[in-house]
């Protein structure tokens, strides 16, 4: 059986090809490709948090512990973190579930975040990113004997990595549509419809939630979270909640509330029975350390036997990089008031949040001003997910080329303007509409270039869709 190459992968290869052409001196109407297709903030030009890199630098080269030019709190943190590594070295292996000290830091962070709701080290497992953690959970849910097809209720649109992950795990994707006209709300009636439609063809085991939403940017309020918890309890579904963008809520009337906090404030018939797995990682906007590959999951109300198997499964995978685990510790336990690095750290985090909030408003207004485009405002997260109305000539050309029309749009935009955006079809779009995904956490000057090029291309496309253009094969 052949391996399916995703549209995103094909577009990435095309972007790399164009970049190579520019490097070799081929003339293009642009000097570089700007990639706003994914949440790789540092690739897009955002700067890393200084304290994170300084501490890691000392951990990687402990001779810096003697350097008085390095801030005292940086050296103190590095000394502590080296002390919890086997052999006082980041080059050593760690326990399969993660370094105990880092797991303790995570548990303490969760308890602070949730206003004192207890969190226990035994319930926290570190992995090489939230997707790796999700893969472990999916592996446990799949029927290894293959007798029963099991399913996961999945939002449409959903993170583009989710459908292939379900497919690889042998699980059935059970789609439920988010309500765009209500700000991409999770609708209770739609959940029941999706569940009923799945019965007979699979056994639904879990419901997946992304909050803040990827790629929609919606943020659930307390009432919505309570409804989902009650639904999961009534239908005996495990709650899988991706909360990676919890540090990036900027909608004026919304705040991030964790599913765990809401669950523990409900009646004991829920708080002591509903099975919940929540995910977080250092790919969050205020860290942006995607390349260090580390995240965690916290499991609530799980059978001890399940916890044991998770530990075994993690042990079969390559251990989470120690440097990533140390960055995770810094994320959940940042500098405190009075520390030498506190002011700089705070300023850098606030700048990231301000950039994200400003860009979200700016891009949404820009897209809604373009003919044939419409975009819901985002309340959190890193993406905008606009609907684009494409000319008939484009959809017909895409059908002839046997590709999705939004992929053709993205390919033409890449070739003509050097801007790389994501295609909506990657997110399991089921409404028959064409959409784009734009990462908005980029420096303001980069955003200037993106909007200028995108606007120019889009207006030309509507004016003369295929006339005088190359064949896009």
- For 194-214, write each residue's pLDDT tens digit: 999 998 899 999 999 999 999
Average pLDDT over residues 275-287: 96
- CATH number for the domain formed by residue range(s) 7-46+346-463: 3.90.1150.10
CB atoms within 10 A of CB 403: 18
Q: What is the pLDDT of residue 465?
A: 58
- CATH number for the domain formed by residue range(s) 93-332: 3.40.640.10
Each residue's pLDDT tens digit, 288-316: 999 999 999 999 999 988 888 888 887 77
Give the separation between CA 26 and CA 176, rounded to whole angstroms.
Answer: 46
Lookup result for tokens 């609530």: 300
Long-range contacts, 364-369 (Cβ 8 Å, 24+): 366/451, 366/455
Each residue's pLDDT tens digit, 60-85: 999 999 999 999 999 999 999 999 99
Mean pLDDT of the chain: 93
Q: What is the pTM of this model?
A: 0.94
Q: What is the pLDDT of residue 318?
A: 64
Each residue's pLDDT tens digit, 343-359: 999 999 999 999 999 99
Give the separation between CA 43 and CA 23, rounded to whole angstroms.
Answer: 17
Q: Which two tokens stand for residue 259?
A: 């599913």
Question: In the chain, where does the domain assigned CATH 3.40.640.10 lie?
Answer: 93-332
Query: In which order are the strands placed within the sheet that holds 422-423?
Result: 383-384, 436-439, 422-423
Average pLDDT over residues 123-134: 93
Each residue's pLDDT tens digit, 81-110: 999 999 999 999 999 899 999 999 999 999
Question: In the chain, where does the domain assigned CATH 3.90.1150.10 lie?
Answer: 7-46+346-463
Longest CA–CA span in the chain (Å) reads 68
Give the separation between CA 405 and CA 427, rounded to whole angstroms.
Answer: 14
Q: What is the pLDDT of residue 2?
A: 42
């Amino acid at each position: 059986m052949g391996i399916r190459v995703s549209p995103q992968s094909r577009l990435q290869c095309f972007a790399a090809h164009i970049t190579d052409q520019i490097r070799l001196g081929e003339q293009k109407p642009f000097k570089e490709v700007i990639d706003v297709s994914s949440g790789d903030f540092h690739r897009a030009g955002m700067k890393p948090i200084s304290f994170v890199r300084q501490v890691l630098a000392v951990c990687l080269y402990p001779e810096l512990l003697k350097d008085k030019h390095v801030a005292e709190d940086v050296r103190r943190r590095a000394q502590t973190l080296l002390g919890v590594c086997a052999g006082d070295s980041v080059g050593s292996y760690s326990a399969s579930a993660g370094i105990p000290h880092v797991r303790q830091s995570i548990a303490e962070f969760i308890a602070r975040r949730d206003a004192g709701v207890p969190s226990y080290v035994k319930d926290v497992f570190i992995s090489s990113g939230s997707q790796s953690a999700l893969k472990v959970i999916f592996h446990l849910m799949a029927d290894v004997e293959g007798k029963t097809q099991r399913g996961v209720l999945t939002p449409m649109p959903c993170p583009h990595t989710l459908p292939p992950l379900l497919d690889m795990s042998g699980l059935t994707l059970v789609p439920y549509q988010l309500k765009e006209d209500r700000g991409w709300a999770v609708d209770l009636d739609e959940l029941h419809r999706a569940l009923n439609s799945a019965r007979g063809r699979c056994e639904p085991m879990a419901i997946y939630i992304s909050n803040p939403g990827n790629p929609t940017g919606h943020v659930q309020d307390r009432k919505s979270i309570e409804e989902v918890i009650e639904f999961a309890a009534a239908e005996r579904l495990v709650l899988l909640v991706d909360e990676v963008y919890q540090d990036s809520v900027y909608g004026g009337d919304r705040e991030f509330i964790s599913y765990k906090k809401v669950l523990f404030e409900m009646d004991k018939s829920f708080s002591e029975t509903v099975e919940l797995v929540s995910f977080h990682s250092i790919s969050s906007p205020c860290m942006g350390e995607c390349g260090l590959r580390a995240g965690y999951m916290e499991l609530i109300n799980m059978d001890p036997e399940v916890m044991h198997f998770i530990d075994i499964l993690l042990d079969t995978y390559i251990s989470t990089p120690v440097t990533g685990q140390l960055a995770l510790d810094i994320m959940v336990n940042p500098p405190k008031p009075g520390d030498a690095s506190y002011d700089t750290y705070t300023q850098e985090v606030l700048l990231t949040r301000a950039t994200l909030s400003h860009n979200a408003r700016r891009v949404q207004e820009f897209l809604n001003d373009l003919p044939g485009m419409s975009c819901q405002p985002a309340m959190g997260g890193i993406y905008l997910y606009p609907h684009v109305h494409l000319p008939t000539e484009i959809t017909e050309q895409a059908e002839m080329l046997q590709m999705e029309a939004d992929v053709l749009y993205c390919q033409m935009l890449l070739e003509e303007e050097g801007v790389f955006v994501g295609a909506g079809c990657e997110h399991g779009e089921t409404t028959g509409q064409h959409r784009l995904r734009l990462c908005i956490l980029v420096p303001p000057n980069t955003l200037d270039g993106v909007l200028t090029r995108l606007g120019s291309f889009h207006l030309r496309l509507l004016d003369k869709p295929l006339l005088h253009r190359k064949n896009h094969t």
